[in-house]
Amino acid sequence: MKAAFIGVGMMGAPMCLNLLKKGHDVTAVDLNSQHLVRVKGGGASTAPTPAEAAAHADFIFTSLPMPADVERVLTGPKGVLEGARPGTIVVDLSTNAPSAVKRLAATLAEKQVILLDGPVSGGVEGAEKATLAIMCGGPQEAFKRVKPLLECMGGNVFLVGPIGSGSVAKLCNNLTSFANLAVACESMLLASRAGLDPEVMGQVMQASSGASFALKRVQRKGLRGDWKQEFTIDLSYKDLSLALDLGRETGTPLSMGSLTYTLLQQARAKGWGGSDLVSVLRLLEEAVGSPVRARP
């Protein structure tokens, strides 16, 4: 099948490469020419604009950092809508606001282009191993058509409801994940200051009711002082902002989300926006003046 992939950065590149590995014809677009080098090595062709990539694609995937980026790529000058043919299916793999996705879907529908929101979860490792969870919102028939391509990129592909539903699911997931990470960092700090080896404490928690994917991140990166980005504070802040906005729209109190949001604000104020989310542990360490590290 002919596809276009717009945004081949840390997450987009491995997803694009997995489509290529399954024999699909993919045209890639990215503002950063260095990102294109990797996917060209895997067999992708390239185009200078989203419109040109869309002109010959049956399916178009976008993986972009911010909602404004998605809107510009889909509906802006030389965007997807200028080149896409009627019947083309677009899947936005980014994390976006449900209201924004619904508005974009209505705009694309005016030219008979179908939009699904299909945000992903599983991080760079999941993207590389094609084990991502992909949560889609949109028409069932369009989902059935694009599902074989989504299964090239993810091991768990869901249709969770109409357009916007995928974004709701992703925001709920990330709210849970970020709050889990914050409390896992607190637990590790408490254990360490009370005299326990945090490495052992992490093993105990993973074998107990405190186990979580977020805790694994703290064990793997935080206990080693590794703040190098996999999923940044800035992106976490953006996602949690969208979740809190949705909470206000629906009249849903999000107390734990608000507390976690405050921690992310503090980390950004430190200048750590480009560091990994696990830098929340670093923030807590600074507050008490002692690090939490795996013992030699």
Residues 6+ apart with CB under 8 A from 258: 244
The Cα 281–Cα 85 span in angstroms is: 48
Residue 175 has, within 13 A of its CA and on its CB side, a CA count of 21
The Cα 141–Cα 270 span in angstroms is: 47
**DSSP β-ladder status, 89-92 and 25-29:** unpaired
Residues 6+ apart with CB under 8 A from 177: 121, 213, 214
- Give 116's strand partners: 91
Q: How far is CA 121 from the centre of its chain?
A: 6
The Cα 270–Cα 145 span in angstroms is: 46
**DSSP β-ladder status, 45-46 and 25-29:** parallel
Known catalytic residue at 170: yes
Q: Which helix (H) or strand (E) holds 191?
A: helix 165-193
Residues 6+ apart with CB under 8 A from 68: none
The Cα 109–Cα 132 span in angstroms is: 28
Q: Which helix (H) or strand (E) holds 99?
A: helix 98-109
Q: How far is CA 77 from the centre of its chain?
A: 25
Query: Which listed residue (102, 170, 238, 270) is catalytic?
Result: 170
As a dihedral over the C-alpha atoms of residue 112, residue 115, residue 116, residue 119, rounded to 10 degrees, the angle is 170
Q: Are the CB atoms for 281 and 218 separated by under 8 Å? A: yes
Q: Which residues are catalytic?
A: 170
